[in-house]
Every structure is written in structure tokens, then in C-alpha cells.
Structure 1
Amino acid sequence: VLIISVTTVSPFYSLIGSLASVLLFNWFFIAPKFSFHTYETEYAVTFAIMLISALITGTLAGKLKENARSSALEAFRVKVLFDTNQLLQGAGNTDDAIRITAGQIKKLVSRNVAVYPVNKNGALGKAIISDAGGSEGDTVFEEENERKTAEKVFHDRRDMDTSSLFNDGGSQYHAISINGHCYGVVCIRSDNDPLDGFEHSVLMSIIGECALTLENIHNEEEKKKASDAARNEQIRSNLLRSISHDIRTPLTSISGNASNLLYHYTQMDDEMRSQIFSDIYNDSEWLIELVENLLSISRLENGQMTIHLSVDILNDVIEESLKHIDGSSVRHHITVSDNEMILVKMDTRLIMQVLINLVNNAIKNTQIGSEIHIRSEKKDKYVMVSVIDNGPGIPDEIKPHIFELFYTGQNKVADGRRGLGLGLALCKSIIEAHNGTITLTDNKPSGCCFTFSLPLVEEVNTNEQIYNTGRGG
């Protein structure tokens, strides 16, 4: 009787088993054996007691089996809820959270599930569908009636059940909402089989976990936007402050020198007039360099600068760049080592700007009479160009920030004495737009070595002459 009660699903089989056990006992063990007759009338009472005992035993065994099944099912549902919590904690974005939720609800209810997420425009996007068979795809969720119902739930923030409205069983709709904000709608096919109370409570817990996760992701995104906005505002403030300070100095110098020439020209000797003209020229050249760097940085950052690629001899580009460096270069010893002719596909104008900025940076931040060496050599599929000086060098704490926009450091290592912090950041953007890299190392025993790489001409597609970099190349 116990075996029948445990292995069958209906109490009817337990009743049949109880009657069969009494009859079989009478058949095999009560005289006359192998018949259903008995000589003793008291056996009728015994048989009745045995039947009642068998029925009670079968009923208890059936209830125990049902309780065990219910406990296992509840344990499974709790495990699904726990797994959902763990998976949602690792969700990196909204799409991940939505897909995890759809999959876990499908595992819980074993029915087709769809989640309509909210898109960037604040409306419901395309449904993310997870069917009970393990694949994605249920065209019912894409029907107009289903979507309209989901949109109604989204706007009203109230759950809805359409099981009684459609012959195909309809669906259940649940808003993924928290703190008055709705992040989507969950749709579950009903199939005319409503969820039990515990299953429904676990479902609502999963939807609540999803809403909380989506809110956290939304808050993180908003925090990042606010942080980026604050950083951009700080950059603008630094830019305006730096430009105001750095432009005022040369303009004041130009204005003062021009005033002296205007009112005291005849009183000056040739040497003094030559020095004043030289000062005016140097200050105006610095202002031109500043404006060029500002325009180039702006274009590269906004993806508006187009790189015009052409095959050119690197040696000639280096030689031409040295003709446009700071006028004070005569106080330094500049040498070039380029033992072989190297062909590189590049934007010659921009690479010249990189070389000019690096050499000028070395001139302005090293002592008079310093050695500045430009070296180029092939290495694997790249050409490595280095600008090396024997100046005081750059402190280790400044090196990680040396290529940051507007960073000048305590020793004003970028863009020289006026230190706006544009030149090296511009160099980095230009080199990366050419699919190269730029690094800073120490030159032993003292000084700096700026090295940038450019792909050799054999490694690029020579059929394409012009392409747009976008942001960062």
C-alpha cells in the first residue's frame, strides 16, 4: 500500500491497493486458502480494521509525498529567486538585467516570457523574448494587441491579466517600476493556467529585484553623466583661466614694446630696436602656436579633423620641422640621426606639428646649451621616432598625467614657460589618429625621451588616401 501511494499520483490507486491487500491476505493466509471464503466470522472485523489501516496508511503516504513535492518546488523557486539576485548584481547594463530577468522568470513559471524595456526616448522598445523551449521567439508578443496592452500597463503603472479576454489564454502584464519610475513591462503567457500564490509572490520578488537593479544602473549612469559634465565644466574653467593668463602676458609685452617703439624710436640704438622687434616676433609666434594647438585639439576632440594621408620620406619631414621651431633653438645643440630613408604614410602637416611641439617642449624646459637629439629607426612593423634631451627631466609623480589635456604640473613641463598643457595632449591625439603610440621615458643619466610610433608604409592600405578619424582616430 505504501509503495502504491508513493509511486502513484491519484488517491484512487491507494484505495484499490488497500482493497487488494485485504483480499490477497484472505486468499493466501486464511483457511480455506486460495479462496475468498472464511470459517471464522470474526475475520470480517479483522478485514475491516486492516482495510481502514491500509486506507489511513495510503492517505498519509500520499500526503507526505505531496508535501515533499511541494517543499521541493518551493525550494526550487527560492533558488531561482536567489540566483536572480546574484545574476542581477553582476549585470553591467540595462540589456543584461532585462535578459537575466526574462530568463529567470521563464525558469520559474515554465512559460513564454517577454520583457519590453524602456528605450532612450522614454517609450517601450522592442520586446526581449524568452520562450519555455529555451530559444528566443514568440510572435504573439509582437502582435499589436499585446504591445498596446503593454503600453497601457507602462503608462498606468498597474498590472493587468488578459486571460479572460482571449481564447488563446491571454497574458499577464507586470510593470517593472520603483519609486514612481517604470523601467519596462514583463509579459507572461497565461495559457489558462493561473499562478499559485507562492509562485506569484516569487515572481513579484524577481520583478522587484529587476526594478531595483535597473534603478541602480540608471543612477550610476546619471552619476557618470553628472561627473562628466562637472569635469567638462572644470576643463572649460581651466581653459578660460589659463588662456586669460597666458595670452595676457605676451599681449602686454607686445603692447609695451610697440608703445616704446612708437614714442621712443628715435632715442633707441639699433641693437635695442632689434631686441624689441625680436621680442615682439617671439611673443606673436607663441600666440600663433597657441591658437593652432587650440584649433587642432578642438577638431580632434570633436572628430572634425580629417587626416590626409600620403606617403612621404620621414627624414625630409624631420628636416622641414626643424625650420619652424622656436627661435631660441640657437642656444641649444640639436642633432638628427637618420641613417636610412624611411617611407611612412602619414599626414605630413600633423606629424610636423608633433615634432615641432616635442622639440619646442625640450627647448623651453632645458637649460641653455642642452643637447636635443632626434632619432628615427625601424622596429618590427613600425618606425620609432624619439626626441631626447639631457635636461633636468620630469618628476615621477607627473609622468602619468603628462599627456592629459590642460595638465601642466608643478614644474610646467607642458607647453613651456606659459604651460597651458596643450602641446603634449595634441601630440598624443595626432599619433593615436595615425594608429600609433607615444610614450615618455627617462634619458639616463638625466633628461627625457619622448618616443612615438607610426606604422610603416608596407602595413597600411595605400589605396585609401583620406579618412576621417572620428574621436581618438
Structure 2
Amino acid sequence: MKEKLRYLVYFGIIISIELFCSLTLNSMGIRKENILMVFIVGVLLISTFTKGYFYGLLASIVSVLCFNFLYIDPNYDFHISDPNDFMLILFFLMTSVIACSLTDRFQKQILISKKNEGISKQLYSLSERLLNVSGIEYILLKGNQYIEESIQIKTNISLEIKEESKNVIPIIGMNRVLGSIEILSHQGLNEDQMIIIKAAANQLGNALERELTYLEQEKIKVAMEREHMLNSMLRSISHDLRTPLTGIVGASQLMMNQDHLTNEDIYSLAKDIHDQAHWLTQIVENILNMSKIESGNLVLHKNLEVVDDLIYEAIQHLPELEKRNVVVDVPQDLLFINVDGKLMVQVFINILNNAIKYTKEKDQITIHVKKLEDEVQFMIKDTGSGISKNILDHIFEEFVTDTNVSNDSQKGIGLGLAICKAIIQAHGGKIWAKDETDGACFIFTIPSDKELNV
């Protein structure tokens, strides 16, 4: 109603102005053919300031009547005596109608252009939002936010594929349906709102296709790395299992085939068999522990354990430590920790085994235990060759070994320290390594119960 009233005001003002101008020009002696241009301009102005054909056509008719009444002989009468004047009025009316039609079309084109510009800006805004967004959940969240901000409509965007309907818009990627946009509003949507929602569905389809393609590529990459890792593990296992088995077979054959062996020789061969079997046991134990960790089946059976007992039990499992200078520095008071004793012994064995590999006979290996405020700190330091810089940042990863050491000391498949990290973290502790000037140092912490260690 307000719009119609505004258009009527425009109509009255412009008609009044064109009448005033035409009368002024007529008093100045201007010919009626030129005065007719004033009325054409008035019709164009009314068509510009109003919408639709009605006001333009009305302005054309009113202008023709005014021009006929004021300036066509006989004056102040609607009768036309001269055929030339009739043709003049007829062409004026045709020109006015054509001008009104063109103006109306031009206005509609402007509205369409503005609407398209608005939609383009909105789509650009959505594309910009989705450009740097990773993660399917965040992409769906951004899509919901965009539609709600753009057209104030509640939607539910998900990867669930639903049958297309009036309230369900499919999200289509390159060659597949990836999800759907469910319109939760009970009110009917207009054409513009549907255009925005469908355009948003296309943008979301591109973003989801990109994200799903990336995830699929990552899965393939992980699978290839796992396959490569598995092949490396199998090669390492076959090599490391063959070495102790070869030693066991060779020593046992000597004991069976040589009748003149002395007791000392027999003891030496038996000791070699024992050492090789112990080495084999450690490799198998690490492989079993890693398989439990990888499958998520590592279960902790915690009990209160005395720190001293754990350390000395680990030392007893490593006869090669007899050739090293082992120093154990623990507090005088009994120190208890709530841990899985078997797994903690395995941690000590793996770290000490690592120290044995990179030290020589008579080198010193120090085990230092310190009680902190709410945790117990263990430090195992050796005076060996240290840790190579190229593996220091990856030393607790699987299958990481130092290629700079000789094959004779390269016992193991690079699982020991990775298992240590998993066990320590499962107990809520931390582990790290340092390369010092006189050897390697491994430090790990285990949370302690203050009431047990007073």
C-alpha cells in the first residue's frame, strides 16, 4: 500500500512538472513538436521511478490527453481536425508505450543482475569459508551456518543419503551422492531461497569430495607405509631370528659330534646356546608386546612394586651386563610404584639391552633413581658411542635402528624403545632421550603415590 501511494505521488509530481514546463515553453513561442518531447521525458521519468507497465501506460495516456487538450487545434478540446496532428499523437503514444516497455525490462534486468550478484557474493563467501576448512564435521557445520545466516532457515546437513524431495536436497560430488541437506523449516521456500540452498549443496559437494579424496589418499598412503613396514619387519625378523638360531644349531652340533670336548669346552658351548636362546627370547617378547600394543590389547595388571626389585630382576635377565661396569643408584628408603611389574622389567631390559649394543666391555652403565614431588624419575646412562643425530628425534619410533654401528652389535629389529614408550605412556609417564658428550642417556618418569613413599 505504501509503495502504491509513493508511486502516485511520483506520478502527480512529474505530470505537474511536465505541464509547467510545456506551458512555459509554449509562452516562449516554442513549437508544439518540441513541446511534445517534454511529455515523452515525463513518461520516461514515471516509468523509471515506478515498477511495472501500469504507471507508464497511464502516464502515456494522460500525457497524450493533456497535449491534445492544450496544444492541438482546436485548443481546449479533445477533437483533432488535422490528420498530421493525429499521426503526431499516434506516434507519440506508440513511442511512450515502447519506452515504458523497454524501461520496465531494463528494471527487471537490473533486479536480476542484483539478485545474481548477491547470490554470487554469497557463494563466494561460502567457498572462501570452505577453502581452508578440513574435517568433514567442520565442513558440514560451516554449511549449516552459511544457510542459516543467508536465508534464516534451519537445516540439517549430514552424510546420510536420503531420497530427494521438496525438503531434501542431495549433496552431489564428482560422480556420487555424498549426503543431503534436510530443510527443517515448515514454511514454504521461495525460488531465491531454493537457488541458494542448491548452490550451497554444490559447494558442499566440492568441499566434501575434496576432503574424502584426501582421506582416501591418506588411507592408501598409510596402507602402503604399513605394508612397507611389515615387509621391513619380516626381513628384520627373519634376519634376527636366523642369527641366534644359527648359533644354537652350530654349538649344539659341536657338542653332539665332538667326543673329545673338555668340560670347559662344553660349558662354553652351552653358555653360547644359553646367550643365543636368551637373545631369541627377547626378540620374540618384543614382537609379542608390540603386537599387543598395535592391536590395543595391552592390558596393565598393576601392583605395588619395589623399585629395587624391578631393576635387579631386569639385570638378572641380561648376563652380558657382567662384562659392563653397572652402577645402581637408588634411594636408601624403599620406593614403591604402582605398575605392571612384568612390563616395567621389560622396559629396563630393552633400555639396558640398547646400552649393551652401543658400549664396549668395561664401559659404565649407570641406573639412577630419584624421587620427585609426584613422580619417580629413572635415568639410565652409558658411556658408549651415544645416539646418532639422524635418529635422535625418531628413536622411539618403530623399526628405527642406527645404521652407523656394525652389524655385530645390531641386535634387534628396532622395536625395543618403541615398546618402552608405549608402556611408559600407558602408565601415565613420559620418556625421552639425550645424546651427551660421553654417551647416551634415557630418562623416564612414573607417577607415584605420595602416601606410599614417605
Question: TM-score, normalization: structure 2?
Answer: 0.75
1:319 paired with 2:312, answer yes
Contact kept, 8 Å, 1:311 with 1:344, in 2: the verdict is yes
1:256 paired with 2:250, answer yes
Q: Which residue of 1 aligns with 2:157?
A: 115
Aligned equivalents of 2:408, 2:400: Cα separation in 1:
10
Compute the displacement of 1:252 (Å).
1.4
Aligned equivalents of 1:215, 1:18: Cα separation in 2:
56
Contact kept, 8 Å, 2:173 with 2:208, in 1: the verdict is no
Contact kept, 8 Å, 2:305 with 2:337, in 1: the verdict is yes
For 1:14, the aligned partner's letter is: Y
Distance change >3 Å, CA 254–CA 201, structure 1 → 2: same
Compute the displacement of 1:110 (Å).
3.8
Q: Which residue of 2 aligns with 1:236?
A: 230
Q: Which residue of 1 aligns with 2:99?
A: none
Compute the displacement of 1:296 (Å).
1.2
Aligned equivalents of 1:338, 1:176: Cα separation in 2:
65
Greater Cα shift, 199-208 or 306-315: 199-208
User: Which one of 180, 183, 191 corresponds to residue 195 of structure 1?
Assistant: 191
Contact kept, 8 Å, 2:350 with 2:416, in 1: the verdict is yes
Contact kept, 8 Å, 1:436 with 1:452, in 2: the verdict is yes
SS in 2 for 1:418: coil
Distance change >3 Å, CA 415–CA 257, structure 1 → 2: closer
The C-alpha deviation readout for 1:249-276, integer Å capped at 9, x for no partner, is: 1111111111111111x31122211111
More helix by share: 2
Contact kept, 8 Å, 2:368 with 2:378, in 1: the verdict is yes
SS in 2 for 1:281: helix
User: Which one of 155, 158, 169 corresponds to residue 174 of structure 1?
Assistant: 169
Instruction: Among all aligned residue pairs of Structure 1 and Structure 2, give the percentage whose two residues are the same amino acid.
Output: 26
Contact kept, 8 Å, 1:14 with 1:55, in 2: the verdict is no
Compute the displacement of 1:203 (Å).
4.5
1:152 paired with 2:163, answer yes
Q: Which residue of 2 aligns with 1:157?
A: none
The C-alpha deviation readout for 1:404-444, integer Å capped at 9, x for no partner, is: 1122130359995323112111111111111111111023x
Contact kept, 8 Å, 1:84 with 1:104, in 2: the verdict is yes
Compute the displacement of 1:458 (Å).
3.1
Unpaired segments ≥5 residues, structure 1: 1-6, 31-39, 119-123, 125-150, 154-159, 163-170, 461-473
1:358 paired with 2:400, answer no
SS in 2 for 1:268: coil
1:81 paired with 2:123, answer yes
Q: Which residue of 2 aligns with 1:60?
A: 48
Q: Which residue of 2 aligns with 1:299?
A: 292
Question: TM-score, normalization: structure 1?
Answer: 0.73
Pair member with larger Rg: 2
Aligned equivalents of 1:261, 1:312: Cα separation in 2:
42
Compute the displacement of 1:19 (Å).
2.9
1:409 paired with 2:402, answer yes
Unpaired segments ≥5 residues, structure 2: 52-105
Contact kept, 8 Å, 1:80 with 1:107, in 2: the verdict is no
Distance change >3 Å, CA 377–CA 16, structure 1 → 2: same
Q: Which residue of 2 aligns with 1:469?
A: none
Aligned equivalents of 2:451, 2:228: Cα separation in 1:
41
Q: Which residue of 2 aligns with 1:457?
A: 449
Q: Which residue of 2 aligns with 1:396?
A: 389
Aligned equivalents of 1:116, 1:398: Cα separation in 2:
44
Distance change >3 Å, CA 274–CA 21, structure 1 → 2: closer
The C-alpha deviation readout for 1:74-112, integer Å capped at 9, x for no partner, is: 443222111100111122222222222233234344434
For 1:256, the aligned partner's letter is: G
Aligned equivalents of 1:412, 1:450: Cα separation in 2:
19
**Whose RCO is larger (CA < 8 A, sep 6+)?**
1
SS in 1 for 2:163: helix
Compute the displacement of 1:247 (Å).
1.1
Correspondences of 1:410-425 after superposition (within 5 Å): 410-411=403-404, 416-425=409-418
The C-alpha deviation readout for 1:20-42, integer Å capped at 9, x for no partner, is: 6877999xxx9xxxxxxxxx9x9
Distance change >3 Å, CA 277–CA 14, structure 1 → 2: same
Q: Which residue of 1 aligns with 2:330?
A: 338
SS in 2 for 1:397: helix
